[in-house]
Amino acid sequence: EAGVAQSPRYKIIEKRQSVAFWCNPISGHATLYWYQQILGQGPKLLIQFQNNGVVDDSQLPKDRFSAERLKGVDSTLKIQPAKLEDSAVYLCASSSSRARGEKLFFGSGTQLSVL
């Protein structure tokens, strides 16, 4: 079974530039998550999709971050404009349902450095 795919693996940009990350979840997984993991901290949920609808984006900085999941499969996360504090690893995860206790499968992440 193929895992969660993310690209690019690394990205270096200057502040105020824009950047986009892509995620392809495990086939058939209806629930998709984007997490931000700052160095030395645990991952923090940015946004959760159920199929192509948003179920939780309460911690997404909507003035600069946006995400979409067209057709309920792939997803993209965009930052525009980037700030220094956005330097982090961005993790995508998927699960077969949104039930409490459901196992999440994580991708390897995109490491973003904002200079």
Cβ pair 72, 65 in contact under 8 A: no
Binding another protein by CB under 8 A: which of 82, 91, 112, 114?
91
Q: Nearest Cα to 5, choosing from 112, 78, 108?
A: 108
Binding another protein by CB under 8 A: which of 26, 52, 78, 106?
106
Burial class (CB in 10 A: 0-12, 13-18, 19+), 22: middle
Asked if residue 25 binds another protein (CB under 8 A), the reply is: no
Cβ pair 95, 27 in contact under 8 A: no
Cβ pair 34, 106 in contact under 8 A: no
Q: Whole-number minimum distance, CB 29 to another protein, in Å? A: 13
> Between residues 71 and 100, which has the closer beta carbon with respect to another protein?
100
Binding another protein by CB under 8 A: which of 14, 15, 102, 115?
102
Provide the mask over 32-71, with x wherever binding to another protein is found by CB under 8 A and - wherever it is not. -x------xxxxxx--x-x----xx---------------
Which amino acid is located at 4 in the chain?
V
Asked if residue 14 binds another protein (CB under 8 A), the reply is: no
